[in-house]
Chains A and B, each alone.
Chain A
Amino acid sequence: DAGVIQSPRHEVTEMGQEVTLRCKPISGHDYLFWYRQTMMRGLELLIYFNNNVPIDDSGMPEDRFSAKMPNASFSTLKIQPSEPRDSAVYFCASSSQGSKAGNTIYFGEGSWLTVV
């Protein structure tokens, strides 16, 4: 079974440009998560969805960030306009029933974003 698939794996962009990160969760999973990883702040939950509906977006840093899940097999995280401090690794993850009762959350390999 294919895992969580993220694209692009690496992106270098100029400040002010729009960045779109994409995620395909594992088929059948009803939870989808977006995390951001930096050296300074560690692993931060940005937003998560259940059945395509955003449940908690309190981790989204500011209005420049937006996330959508138009269907069960696709999600996007968009940054517009991008800034150098957005440079990080962005992970998408999915799960069946989330982490309830010890269910495993499966991570993609990450999208490495550099904003110059």
Chain B
Amino acid sequence: GDSVTQMEGPVTLSEEAFLTINCTYTATGYPSLFWYVQYPGEGLQLLLKATKADDKGSNKGFEATYRKETTSFHLEKGSVQVSDSAVYFCALAPGSQGNLIFGKGTKLSVKP
């Protein structure tokens, strides 16, 4: 079945460091791909998304490119801030269904 695999955390970085969180997926057809972020004590909120191959989603300095050939949707940010500390979830929308399938999440801690 469809699934999402993302890198294990936690990830600890210093402020202004470069961030990459890897995400790969298995799916039939051409799913839409998402990154959600969960700040401490809050629900998940959409960070960015891409709906077709080679699309790049971006928001708040974060970027991810939908790579069909490598079935990947890696999250990147050039310079992280303490306020980026959160749990990041990669997700896919399987085909014509309405739900989302999430990865296990990667906890990011950014130190000043």
A interface residues, Cβ below 8 angstroms from B: 4, 31, 33, 42-43, 45, 48, 50, 55-56, 91, 93, 95, 97-102, 104-110
Q: Give the distance to chain B from A108, nearest Cβ to Cβ, in Å.
A: 5
> Which residues on the A side are within 8 Å of B28 (C-beta)?
none
B: contact size bracket:
20 to 34
In the complex, A88→B89 CA distance in Å?
18
Contact of B105 among A42, A45, A91, A109 (CB under 8 A): A42
Q: Give the distance to chain B from A50, nearest Cβ to Cβ, in Å.
A: 6
With contacts A102-B32, A102-B51, A107-B43 taken as known, whether A42 is within 8 angstroms of B100 at the C-beta atoms is no
Q: Could you jot down 21 A-B contacts, CB within 8 Å? A: A45-B99, A45-B100, A45-B101, A48-B98, A48-B99, A50-B98, A56-B97, A98-B93, A98-B98, A99-B93, A99-B97, A100-B93, A102-B32, A102-B49, A102-B50, A102-B51, A102-B93, A107-B45, A108-B43, A109-B42, A109-B43
With contacts A91-B43, A109-B42 taken as known, whether A104 is within 8 angstroms of B98 at the C-beta atoms is no
In the complex, A104→B100 CA distance in Å?
10
B70 at interface by CB-CB < 8 Å: no
In the complex, A48→B93 CA distance in Å?
14
Q: Which residue, of B36, B49, B89, B99, has the highest number of chain A Cβ atoms within 10 A?
A: B99
> Which residues on the B side are within 8 Å of A50 (C-beta)?
98
Would A101 and B32 count as touching, CB distance under 8 A? Answer: yes
In the complex, A4→B42 CA distance in Å?
12
B17 at interface by CB-CB < 8 Å: no
Contact of A56 among B36, B89, B99 (CB under 8 A): B99
Would A105 and B43 count as touching, CB distance under 8 A? Answer: no
B62 at interface by CB-CB < 8 Å: no
B44 at interface by CB-CB < 8 Å: yes
